[in-house]
Amino acid sequence: MVPIEAYIILSTILFVLGAMGVVLRRNAILVFMSVELMLNASNLALVAFSRQWNVIDGQVFVFFVITVAASEVAVGLALIVTIFRNKQSINIDELHMMEG
Amino acid sequence: MDIEVLLFLVVGGLSVFAAVMMLLDTNAVQSALFLVLNFACVAFLYLMLDASFLAMVQIAVYAGAIMVLFLFVIMLLGAEKAMGAFRQFKWVAPAALVLAFSFMFAVGAAVLQGNVEDRELPPADPMFRIAYSAPEFLPEVDVFLNGELAFDAVSFRDYTDYTEVAPGDYQVSFGRPGGDATTAIPAGSVTLASDTVSTLVVYNAGSSAPVIASVIEDLSHIDGDEGRVTVFNAYNGVEALSVVDPGSDYLFADLEDAQNAPVLLEGLPFGEASAVTLFGDGDFRAAVVPSTEGDLDDIIVRLRDVEIEAETSTLIVLTEGVEDEGVTPVVTNVAVTDTAPEFGGPEAIGQELFVRYVLAFEMVAMLLLAAMVGAIVITQRADIKPKPGRPTRRKVSRPLTSVISSQTGHDVSEERAIEQPEQPEPAGD
C-alpha cells in the first residue's frame, strides 16, 4: 500500500510544475492549461486524503472542482478568442490593456 | 517490491514527465496532448485510491471534453507555433524556480513531519434503532431514552429507523402510546459506544416486563451478491435454537430426519444473537429446530417469507406470538437495512451529492449556466450587423395539391376534400 505522503508529494510536484507554467509561458492557452494542471494536482491530494480517512466528502469536492474547471475553461477560452480577434495575438506579454 | 508501489512509481513518474514535457514543448498541440497523458495518469492514480467514479469522470470530462475544447481553440487560432515561447524578462525564470523549490521543500517538510498517516478522525456518534418483539407487554409502545421520547408508536413485529445519539449509557423505558415518561416502565440500560450501529431488541423473558438486548450491526460494504444475516433468539419455549436448511422443497418437506440438512446456525441460546453470517441473495431457505439431533417434525417455524437481498443486512428476531387456543406461534420480526455502498462508486458519490451537498450541487449547476451565458456574451461581436443586400421577394410556393396533380395527371384536391372527416367546431374560446 502506497503511503499517503507519496501522493501528497506527487501532488505538490504537479502543482509546482503548473505554477511554473503559469509564470513562465507566454502563450495564453498554455497558461490556461497550466492552471488546469494545478487544479488537477489539488484534486489528487483531495482524493488521497479521502481514501486515507475513508470519508467520501473529498471525492465530492473533486467533483465540484472539475465542474468549476469546466466553466472556467469555457469562459477563459471565450476570452482568449475575443482577445485574439482584437489583437491578432495571444501572447500575454503583448497585452497591455489595463495599463492606462 | 510491492506491485502497488511499483505501479505508483511508474504512473506517477509518467505523470510528472508529461507535465514537464507540456511545460517545455514549443508546439501548443503537443503540449495539449501531453496534458491529456498527464490527466490519464492521474485517472489511473484515482483508481488506485478507490475513486473509480472520479477516474471515469476525469477521463470523460477532463481528458475528453475540456482538452478537446483546448485543442479546438488552439487550431482555430493557429496558435500551435509558439515562437519565443518563454517570457522575455530574464529574472522571471530563476525567481520562479527558486520559489517553486522553496514551496516544494516547505510542503514536503510539512507532509513528512506532520505524521499525516497517524491522524484520526473524531469518532462518529452511535446509531441505534428499536426492533419491538414483546407482544405480552403491549401491542404498541412509545420508547423513552433517559426520560425523553425517542420513538413513538412502535408496534409489535416492527422496527424503527436509525437515530443518532451522543455516546453513553441510556435508561430505556417503554410506555403506552400517548403516555408520558413518568408512567413508562423501565427495561434496563444500554451502553451506546461511538462508531457503532446497534439494534435494540425488545422481547419478553417470562414476565410481562420487556427486556432489552443490544445487537451490534455491521453495515460496511459487501462485495458481491450476498447479504448479512443475524438471527436473534427471543423464543422462550426451548433452551436453544438451531437453524437448518431443509432442502429445496423446504416448504412441504417431510424428511426423515434433520441430520442430513445443512446446519446454518447451531445452538443459539435464548436472548442472544448469532454471529453475522453471509448468505447468497434469494429466498432464505431455513427452518428453526430445537436441536440438530431431532427430526423435522420438531420444526418450530419455517422462515418462508424471508428473502435475502444482495448488499443488505437482515436481522431476524424469533419471538413467541400471542398465545391462541393453547398454541404459541413463533413469529419473526425481520429488519432489513441497506449496507453502505462501495466507497468511491457512483452510488456513494450520488448519495452524498443529493443529500448533504444538494445546495452546493445546485449552485455549481447555476455556475455552469452562468459560464455558458458568459462565454456566449463574450464571444458575441457587438458591431455585428446584417449585411445590406437586395431586398428579397418572398416566394409564394404552390399548394401541394397542385404539385401532385401536375405530376400524377389528375386532380387530387377534390378527393382530399371529400375524404377529410368533418371536424367539430371548437366551442367558443
- Compute the distance between CA of residue B67 and CA of residue A73 in angstroms, rounded to an integer: 10
Quick check: B41 pLDDT over 90?
yes
Task: Give pLDDT, residue A47.
Answer: 94
Highest-confidence range of B59-73, B75-89, B144-158, B174-188, by mean pLDDT? B59-73
Q: Give the A:B interface size as CB pairs under 8 Å.
A: 218
Quick check: B252 pLDDT over 50?
no
Quick check: A100 pLDDT over 60?
no
Question: Is the Cβ–Cβ distance between B159 and B333 less than 8 Å?
Answer: yes
Q: Does B45 touch chain A (CB under 8 A)?
A: yes
Quick check: B330 pLDDT over 80?
no
363-382 of B, contacting A, C-beta below 8 A:
364, 367-368, 370-372, 374-376, 378-379, 381
Q: Does B344 touch chain A (CB under 8 A)?
A: yes
Q: Does B213 touch chain A (CB under 8 A)?
A: no
Q: What is the pLDDT of residues B186-196, one digit of tens each?
A: 888 888 888 88
Backbone angle region of B15, left / alpha / beta, with phi > 0 → left and psi within -120 to 50 → alpha: alpha
Task: Give pLDDT, residue B250.
Answer: 46
Quick check: A77 pLDDT over 70?
yes
Q: How far is B363 from chain A (nearest CA, A)?
A: 10
What residues of chain A lie within 8 A of the CB of B112, using their CB? Answer: 5
Per-residue pLDDT band for B393 (boundaries 50, 70, 90) equals low
Q: Tell if the CB–CB gap between A93 and B88 is shorter than 8 Å.
A: yes
Task: Give pLDDT, residue B210.
Answer: 81
- Compute the distance between CA of residue B289 and CA of residue B266 in angstroms, rounded to an integer: 9
Q: Does B76 touch chain A (CB under 8 A)?
A: yes
Nearest chain B residue to A54 by CA distance is B343
Q: Which one of B5, B77, B91 makes the best mutation probe of the A interface by having the most chain A beta carbons within 10 Å?
A: B77
Task: Give pLDDT, residue B374.
Answer: 92
Q: Tell if the CB–CB gap between B23 and A25 is shorter than 8 Å.
A: yes
Task: Give pLDDT, residue B264.
Answer: 74
Arithmetic mean of pLDDT over chain B: 79
3-state SS of A37-55 is: HHHHHHHHHHHHHHHHHCC
Q: Tell if the CB–CB gap between A20 and B23 is shorter than 8 Å.
A: yes
Q: Which residues contact A78 (CB under 8 A, 6 or more apart)?
A: B374, B375, B376, B378, B379
Q: What is the pLDDT of residues B260-273, one digit of tens each?
A: 566 777 777 787 78
Task: Give pLDDT, residue A12.
Answer: 92
The mean-pLDDT minimum among A42-46, A73-77, B123-127, B408-412 falls in B408-412
Task: Give pLDDT, residue B414.
Answer: 54
Q: What is the pLDDT of residues B299-319, one digit of tens each?
A: 777 776 778 888 888 888 888
Cell of B221: 460494504
Amino acid identity for residue B255 in this structure: L
Q: Tell if the CB–CB gap between A17 and B16 is shorter than 8 Å.
A: yes
Mean pLDDT to the nearest integer, B243-257: 55
Per-residue pLDDT band for B11 (boundaries 50, 70, 90) equals very high
ipTM computed for the complex:
0.94
